[in-house]
A and B are shown apart, each in its own frame.
Chain A
Amino acid sequence: MNPTFMIAIPLLTAFLLFVLPKRRWLNTLFITLVALFTSVYSIAGLFNIEKSMSFGMGGWPTPFGINLVVDNLSAFFVMVTQLSFLLTIFALFGWYRAERYSGALMMTFLAAVNGMILTGDLFNLFVFMEIASVSLFALLNLRESSGSLKATFNYMVLNALASSVYLIGIALVYRATGTLNMADLSQKWGVISEASATTVFLMLLTPLLLKAEIFPLNLWAPRIYGRSSAGITTLLAGMVAPAGFYAMIRLFSLLSSSGTTQNSLLILAVLTMVIGEVVALTRKSLREMLGFSSVAGMGVLLMAALSNAMEGALFHLFNLALAKVVMFLSVELLTAGGRDDLESLKGTYKRNPAMAFVFASGAFSVAGLPLFAGFRSKLIILSDMMKAEHYIITAVFIFASIVEFFYYTRAVQHIFSSNEEIAGGRQCSHPLSTLVLLAAAIFIIFTGIYPESVMALAEKAQMALTDVGAYVASVLGGM
């Protein structure tokens, strides 16, 4: 696939929306078609990747110009974010019609997230991160009540701080090595002395940790999750966090870092997981619970990635993103945008059985119940972590899983409670969103039983990640 399209088409759509006649249905249709096209294009491309491919932009030779890189890893992540985006668009189809502003913002956001994943240049990564953040801030406040305003403000400030740290980091890198191209940098990384390398590396990692919601840079996240509607939270959990995670593991594989750095990040990952799960246990509001759970999930991924369970981490990332998106959306449709505390959710399955089923399959997937996708990826993570002799961390992971299993079954139990009479009749959601979300839920179960197809993709992605030589060769032309 040509990565340029993945960025250019959504961006173009964003501008075109203002040229098109002012019709809501037209906007919605247009956005939906574009999202469908980019998704199909990226997924079709994913199966045709032989090796790592680099595309220089604007006719400049790399490493002097900006380049985009498509290999199994970046294509895998693009697929994840595209799927999240597509699900959001489809599931909310009947829920709200895209205005041209929010439509344009979402398209810009999509372009930026794809750019974050596909770019091979540190500064370009910064630019795309900023575009993604800015469009997300705008989206957060476009249709939100004042409740989320403060949360968004905090997020903005933190984000700006982290970005400036990153900017200083790349300035230092450029000063020391004279390049910002990731592949080129990985060759010249040895030039920097070890102490400075650690500092610079951590500076580069700061906004990525923030995007990937790793403690202590995730303090903004739960409130945003708790106060925003599904359209935004799915973008966060299913797109921003995976993109941040991608950039992080890419930097990890390209730039060598010290053992201490990796260990401290591992500890942060474990802390993220434990704090996230334990706090999620206490939350009464379902959205907030899901928010903390997403945070904890990112901790699990980073923990697995840093303790030799990368393949499992990538597979788990796919399952988590899908399950989280599905859950946020089904909660939105189940509560009809209203109250979401556990008590008021009692017996809501009678109101909307399809969405209750969708939520349950997402929840069981994340909780790791056999037959659901998350179980298979958790098993791979566990087995690889044990093989790498991380006994204590595995035990902590097991503990976190118990907590997670408990609060998810509790939530499902409340939704499926038969002990409460529910007011009002059946309120089915839009048939299109029901259909799409049911398909996603069935796919979760299907992956739980036959995980081979997704696992093969994760395995290829993991190989692309470890094969730094091929990455560098594709960018620099076999230098």
Chain B
Amino acid sequence: MCPFGTISSFSFSLLIISPLIYLLARFDRRWASAFLALASGLGLYKLATMYGEWGLPSQSFEIIPNVTISFTNSPIQWYFAFIGLGIMLTIFLFEISWLSKSRTPSAHIFFEAVILASLPGFFMAGDLMTLYIFFELMSWAAFFIVSQASEKSEKAARTFIAMNTTGAMALLYVLFLLYTRFSTLNIEELRTLLPSAGAGFNLIIFALFVFSGLIKAGSFPLHTWLRKTHGNAPDSFSAVLSGYLIKYGSFVVAVTTVIFPSLLLFSNAPHFMGLPLPNYILAVLGGVSIIVGTLMAIKQQDAKMLIAYSSVSHAGYIVMALAMVSSYSVAGGLLHVLVHALAAAGMFLSMAAVKYRTGTTNMSELGGLVDRMPVTFATYLISIISTAGIPPMVGFVSKWLIYQSTITGGFIFLSFAAFFGSIGSFLYVFRPLATVFFGQRPKRLENVREVPFIMQLPMIIISALTVIFGVLPSIALKPIAEAERYYGIKPVSFSFSEIRGALGSWNSVLVFFVFMLGFIMAAVIFYLARKSVRVGLLENYTAGEIPREIINSPELYHYAHNFYRPVERLYEHHPSLEDFYETALGENLKKFGVFLKTLFYNHRLDWYLYVSILTILFLWWLL
């Protein structure tokens, strides 16, 4: 039996039974969600058995001559698909209970089933047409899930679909350019065929691929849909969007730079600091994305929108790393896919948990939830430590690898951007921590409880994985090194406990034990020298004093509002790309439409004559 038949049958059978899942959800939403969790678990198991058996495409039916829906298995594709299914598994577990907050649980589950089906189809695609089809299915399903949350989210969903369709259509165009040229769309075949085409052709291919990849990845300058969409999506789905769906874009970028040998394709193009110019420009765009994402995240008032901008910044890391195509950068970029998938899922799920209990994610309405929701707090804490790239978590390892490549390559701007993003993320990820979990608890949140266990479970899994991969990154680096070997890049060298970089080595196990030691020592001191009294949260941050005002109007002392005002002031009057796209493209297109309508379709008989004459004159002039 062909082992790859299994992954296509996974996709197709899930698509076929998705209406049944809808009916199941109508009957009982928990079963439907549990069923999908089981299905993703099954998919994970199948993928695990496929590890190491690369190549061997499987084909199904033909779409256009010489192009069939086909699937293949290569290390990068396996890696992306595996993470994706893992994230989906945790989300479905979470939703078993969370769905009671959804107004349209059956539709939600139905479209998520479509997304689950599209996931292995997209990542394991053997050819670009399969990739395109499953991408369209995904964005279509995501569009409807996002629409369901609220009145506002409908508009957000439209922004999402407009930008993603543009990206998809660019992909479709480039796909037919390739098809006309090579009469195949098979990724492996294109890998060998592309170097024979001219540099100009390859540049167009590269540019269009990057365009569609950056839109999907939510990276600068095409990141504008992220804030609205992630911020207004149903809470648990934000975790899918940020944790996994924007990795579709990262994958397209990986296809462009790593799978298609971009360094070889542009070997005759002008080079800048040892990188071909197209790759360098892409890396710079990634760097700008890090900076923009960080700066904008600092400004956000809503925790979900804040995390959305942090996704922009992390998408930037991945794009930058993949664009440099060196041993360390590819390893770092691919590892960062895992890092951000875990971190974003962890952050969004903890925020979903907060909203599940409190009904809001607006930071200035929250506070002091640490002792009410300890698991949620711990998940958020671990995720942000990983996001900020602080040692014992996996987030440090990927950033460390990326630093290796930017520093050894001598890229000053890219190094700056990478460090800036890292330090900036201390600022913004701390803010929800301080204002949602610490600080003063508003009266109405006194009776908040921790979420049910079934919702805690996925958060615990994600936190545990973040720590485990941090201690033993070699587990994740194994498929990554395999991928690098597969695509002819020198694999990173690592052992069970140590990664050897160009600028030194990183023994994660040792570091973990040092951290643990420090933690234990601190705990010992804390418990031995225990003279403290237990104080309320309120007294804690007024330094023991209880001013009179705080009793009468406590909200004055809530410091979530304008938290980073001094920093924000530095770039208060920045131009907004979001507005630019909306007005320059969206609104103006509509205005143009109205103009055309009044010009041509104003239903006056004499006008028909003028228009006809003008058209004839226009054609005469043109030809």
**Could you list which residues of chain A lie within 8 angstroms of chain B, going by C-beta atoms?**
150-151, 154, 157-158, 215-217, 219-220, 222-223, 260, 263-264, 267-268, 271, 275, 278-282, 364, 369-371, 376, 379-380, 382-383, 386-387, 389, 391, 394-395, 398-399, 401-403, 405-406, 409-410, 413, 416-419
- Asked whether A402 and B165 contact (CB < 8 A) given A380-B64, A413-B157, A417-B147, the answer is yes
Partner of B596, one of A275, A389, A401, A418: A275
A382 contacts B172, C-beta separation under 8 Å: yes
Most buried by B among A151, A220, A382, A389: A382
How far is A410 from B615 in the complex, measured between Cα atoms in Å?
Answer: 32
Partner of B597, one of A154, A282, A387, A391: A282
Partner of A379, one of B63, B140, B158, B161: B63
A395 contacts B64, C-beta separation under 8 Å: no
How far is A384 from B210 in the complex, measured between Cα atoms in Å?
Answer: 25
How far is A263 from B615 in the complex, measured between Cα atoms in Å?
Answer: 14
Closest to B137 in A: A370
Chain B's interface size range is 35 or more
Closest to B176 in A: A386
B64 contacts A383, C-beta separation under 8 Å: yes
Closest to B149 in A: A419
Report if B133 contacts A (CB, 8 A). yes
Most buried by B among A154, A271, A410, A418: A418
User: Which residues does chain B contribute within 8 Å of A222, judged by CB atoms?
Assistant: 601
User: Which residues does chain A contribute within 8 Å of B137, judged by CB atoms?
Assistant: 369-371
4 additional A-B pairs beyond A154-B608, A413-B157, beta carbons within 8 Å, are A157-B605, A215-B600, A278-B593, A279-B597
Report if B590 contacts A (CB, 8 A). yes
Partner of B173, one of A264, A268, A389, A398: A398
Partner of A386, one of B133, B169, B180: B180
How far is A69 from B150 in the complex, measured between Cα atoms in Å?
Answer: 58
Closest to A274 in B: B596
- Asked whether A418 and B107 contact (CB < 8 A) given A158-B608, A376-B63, the answer is yes
A154 contacts B605, C-beta separation under 8 Å: yes
Q: Secondary structure at chain B's binding surface: helix, strand, loop or mixed?
A: helix
A406 contacts B162, C-beta separation under 8 Å: yes
B590 contacts A282, C-beta separation under 8 Å: yes
Report if B572 contacts A (CB, 8 A). no
**20 sample A-B contacts, Cβ–Cβ < 8 Å, listed by A number:** A215-B600, A222-B601, A223-B603, A260-B623, A264-B619, A264-B622, A268-B615, A278-B592, A282-B597, A386-B179, A394-B173, A398-B172, A405-B161, A406-B158, A406-B161, A413-B143, A413-B147, A413-B154, A416-B107, A417-B147
CB proximity to A under 8 Å, residues B160-198: 161-162, 165-166, 169-170, 172-173, 176-177, 179-180
Partner of A418, one of B103, B179, B622: B103
Report if B464 contacts A (CB, 8 A). no
How far is A409 from B162 in the complex, measured between Cα atoms in Å?
Answer: 10
User: Which residues does chain B contribute within 8 Å of A219, judged by CB atoms?
Assistant: 600-601, 603, 607-608, 611
Which 6 pairs show the lowest CB-CB distances between chains A and B? A282-B593, A370-B133, A386-B176, A278-B593, A386-B180, A264-B619
CB distance from A268 to the nearest CB of B (A): 7
CB proximity to A under 8 Å, residues B119-135: 132-134
- Asked whether A150 and B603 contact (CB < 8 A) given A264-B619, A418-B104, the answer is yes
Report if B144 contacts A (CB, 8 A). yes
CB proximity to A under 8 Å, residues B251-292: none
User: Which residues does chain B contribute within 8 Å of A380, judged by CB atoms?
Assistant: 64
B589-623: contact bitstring with A at CB < 8 Å (1 yes, 0 no)? 11011101100110101011001100100010011
Closest to A380 in B: B64
A419 contacts B150, C-beta separation under 8 Å: yes
How far is A419 from B399 in the complex, measured between Cα atoms in Å?
Answer: 42
How far is A391 from B103 in the complex, measured between Cα atoms in Å?
Answer: 46
- Asked whether A386 and B605 contact (CB < 8 A) given A216-B600, A264-B619, A281-B589, the answer is no
Number of A-B contacts defined by CB within 8 Å = 128
Closest to B63 in A: A379
Q: Secondary structure at chain A's binding surface: helix, strand, loop or mixed?
A: helix
User: Which residues does chain A contribute within 8 Å of B482, judged by CB atoms?
Assistant: none
Report if B151 contacts A (CB, 8 A). yes
A395 contacts B173, C-beta separation under 8 Å: yes
B133 contacts A216, C-beta separation under 8 Å: no
- Asked whether A413 and B158 contact (CB < 8 A) given A151-B603, A418-B103, the answer is yes
- Asked whether A409 and B143 contact (CB < 8 A) given A278-B589, A398-B173, A418-B107, the answer is yes
CB distance from A357 to the nearest CB of B (A): 11
B601 contacts A223, C-beta separation under 8 Å: yes
B161 contacts A409, C-beta separation under 8 Å: yes
Partner of B179, one of A267, A275, A383, A405: A383
How far is A405 from B169 in the complex, measured between Cα atoms in Å?
Answer: 10
Closest to B612 in A: A216
Report if B578 contacts A (CB, 8 A). no
User: Which residues does chain A contribute within 8 Å of B170, judged by CB atoms?
Assistant: 398
Closest to A261 in B: B623
User: Which residues does chain B contribute within 8 Å of A158, judged by CB atoms?
Assistant: 605, 608
Report if B148 contacts A (CB, 8 A). yes
How far is A268 from B611 in the complex, measured between Cα atoms in Å?
Answer: 12
User: Which residues does chain B contribute within 8 Å of A157, judged by CB atoms?
Assistant: 605
Report if B498 contacts A (CB, 8 A). no
A419 contacts B151, C-beta separation under 8 Å: yes
Report if B302 contacts A (CB, 8 A). no
Report if B555 contacts A (CB, 8 A). no
CB distance from B161 to the nearest CB of A (A): 5
CB distance from A379 to the nearest CB of B (A): 6
How far is A16 from B545 in the complex, measured between Cα atoms in Å?
Answer: 99
A394 contacts B176, C-beta separation under 8 Å: yes
User: Which residues does chain A contribute within 8 Å of B140, judged by CB atoms?
Assistant: 364, 369, 409
B107 contacts A386, C-beta separation under 8 Å: no
B154 contacts A401, C-beta separation under 8 Å: no
User: Which residues does chain A contribute within 8 Å of B144, judged by CB atoms?
Assistant: 413, 416
Closest to A400 in B: B169
How far is A45 from B169 in the complex, measured between Cα atoms in Å?
Answer: 39
Report if B365 contacts A (CB, 8 A). no
- Asked whether A386 and B177 contact (CB < 8 A) given A223-B603, A413-B144, the answer is yes
CB distance from B612 to the nearest CB of A (A): 5
A278 contacts B161, C-beta separation under 8 Å: no
User: Which residues does chain A contribute within 8 Å of B597, judged by CB atoms?
Assistant: 279, 282
B611 contacts A216, C-beta separation under 8 Å: yes
Closest to A153 in B: B605
User: Which residues does chain A contribute within 8 Å of B590, judged by CB atoms?
Assistant: 281-282
CB distance from B448 to the nearest CB of A (A): 27
CB distance from B383 to the nearest CB of A (A): 31
User: Which residues does chain A contribute within 8 Å of B169, judged by CB atoms?
Assistant: 398-399, 401-402, 405
CB distance from B391 to the nearest CB of A (A): 45
A267 contacts B619, C-beta separation under 8 Å: yes
- Asked whether A267 and B622 contact (CB < 8 A) given A275-B596, A380-B64, the answer is yes
User: Which residues does chain B contribute within 8 Å of A370, judged by CB atoms?
Assistant: 132-134, 136-137
B608 contacts A383, C-beta separation under 8 Å: no
User: Which residues does chain A contribute within 8 Å of B593, judged by CB atoms?
Assistant: 278-282
How far is A268 from B103 in the complex, measured between Cα atoms in Å?
Answer: 47
B360-398: contact bitstring with A at CB < 8 Å (1 yes, 0 no)? 000000000000000000000000000000000000000
A379 contacts B151, C-beta separation under 8 Å: no
User: Which residues does chain B contribute within 8 Å of A275, judged by CB atoms?
Assistant: 596, 600
Closest to A206 in B: B612
User: Which residues does chain B contribute within 8 Å of A371, judged by CB atoms?
Assistant: 137
CB distance from B196 to the nearest CB of A (A): 19
How far is A380 from B623 in the complex, measured between Cα atoms in Å?
Answer: 29
User: Which residues does chain B contribute within 8 Å of A264, judged by CB atoms?
Assistant: 619, 622-623
Closest to B65 in A: A383
CB distance from B205 to the nearest CB of A (A): 13
User: Which residues does chain B contribute within 8 Å of A401, judged by CB atoms?
Assistant: 169
A382 contacts B107, C-beta separation under 8 Å: no
How far is A66 from B597 in the complex, measured between Cα atoms in Å?
Answer: 43
CB distance from B622 to the nearest CB of A (A): 7
How far is A382 from B176 in the complex, measured between Cα atoms in Å?
Answer: 7
CB distance from B128 to the nearest CB of A (A): 12
How far is A169 from B580 in the complex, measured between Cα atoms in Å?
Answer: 52
